[in-house]
Amino acid sequence: MARVGLIGATGLVGSEMLRLLAEREFPIDELRLYASDRSIGKRIAFADGEIACQGLTPDGFDGLDLVIVDVDDPIALEWAPIAAAAGARVIDNSAAFRMEHDVPVVIAEVNPGDLAEMRRGIVACPNCTTMVMLTALAPLHAEAEITRLVVSSYQSVSGAGQAGIAELDEQWITGAGKSDQYRHAGVTPAAMTPGVVWNKPIAGNVIPLAGSLQDHGYTSEEWKLVNETRKILHVPDLQVTATCVRVPVFVGHALSINVAFARPLGRDRSVELLADAPGVELIGDGDGYPTPMDAAGIDPVLVGRVREDLSMPGALNLWVTGDNLRKGAALNAVQLAEYLA
């Protein structure tokens, strides 16, 4: 039985985390929920009862075995080390520590052995897009060694939290039935004004910019996919190039992936490997076309459209989709907690 803390209990991923801890009957002796000042005292349902949220204080982690963190980077950066110093093992869903040399980044089905490297008492979960992608690719990499990935993403608005969901929801309602305005617009339709999270409409549109612009014209989301993939697969110079795109889907990220291997891997063998892969559900023997809506609310990452890349012998194209809040975030954190407990 473990004493567990959850920092960020009222967020989208935090709620999913509580649902999963209960569903999976995680052996909890005590559960403390931490929230921002405005939510202190808020009572949150868990299992058969309710737990009141508390604020973050330096001595608030005493006696805890595990602390799961799902808050923005600056808050994680401040409080994860305090929780670790208090003796808890910390599982962090933020990006604050992922690139630290003494903090492993772990996907439960891919590199659980790296949990032995928690030299600061902290383990990081990767970004939701990386998580969905590598859960599917890891068994192929183990067999044939990936040498290059060309990735285009289709990322849902919940990747931007509750504000992202609210923005699509509102634009969807105001835009309903106004397809004529979208069709010959050439300008933002009158029904649809740019929002707060995105400065272009997201309903009825796709936005090829996820995260903020960084070096060489790539965004933070694109760099995460590159750097986290290299770290998790232990290939520091792995060739990865990505274009991350936001789509008007509430939950579920998807990726169109082109993979080259050191040792050619045919479609038949790939399909065999994916059919047996933990955390993966292969759809239609690899010919299926799973959608984000199929993946929302379930644990496995769905894989389909597995095709030999006829333009490059031995390479593959495939399509992967997974629930970005669940396997992409909350589920992996709970799985790591199960390993550590």
Is 53 assigned a catalytic role? no
Q: Which is nearer to a copy of itself, 86 or 257 (CB)?
A: 257
Regarding 289 and contact with a copy of itself (CB under 8 A), the answer is yes
**Binds a copy of itself by CB under 8 A, chosen from 304, 322, 328, 332:** 304
Ranges within 10-69 binding a copy of itself (CB under 8 A):
none
Let me know: does 266 contact 285? Beta carbons within 8 Å. Answer: no
Residue 297 binds to a copy of itself (criterion: CB under 8 A): yes
- How many whole angstroms separate alpha carbon 177 and alpha carbon 170? 14
Which of 42, 256, 264, 275 binds a copy of itself (CB under 8 A)? It is 256
Q: Contacting a copy of itself (CB under 8 A), which of 135, 258, 270, 335? A: 258
Instruction: Report the site for a copy of itself in 312-341 (rule: CB under 8 A).
Output: 312, 317, 319
d(CA 180, CA 334) in angstroms, rounded, equals 46
d(CA 92, CA 101): 15
Query: Using CB under 8 A, which of the segments 67-75, 93-101, 172-180, 329-337 binds a copy of itself?
Result: 172-180
Q: Is 128 in the active site?
A: yes
Residue 296 binds a copy of itself, judged by CB under 8 A: yes
| Residues across the chain | 341
Binding to a copy of itself (CB under 8 A): which residues in 108-167? 148-150, 152, 154, 158, 165
- 305 belongs to the binding site for a copy of itself (CB under 8 A): yes
Q: Interface with a copy of itself by CB under 8 A: which range of 29-37, 60-68, 114-122, 301-309?
A: 301-309
Interaction of residue 266 with a copy of itself, rule CB under 8 A: no
How far apart are CB 68 and a copy of itself at their closest, in Å? 20
Choice between 139 and 322, CB closer to a copy of itself: 322
Q: Judged by CB under 8 A, does residue 261 bind a copy of itself?
A: no
Q: Indicate which single residue of 22, 82, 99, 298 sits in contact with a copy of itself (rule: CB under 8 A).
A: 298
Taking the mean position of all CA atoms in its chain, how far away is CA 148? 21
Write out the catalytic residue numbers: 128, 253
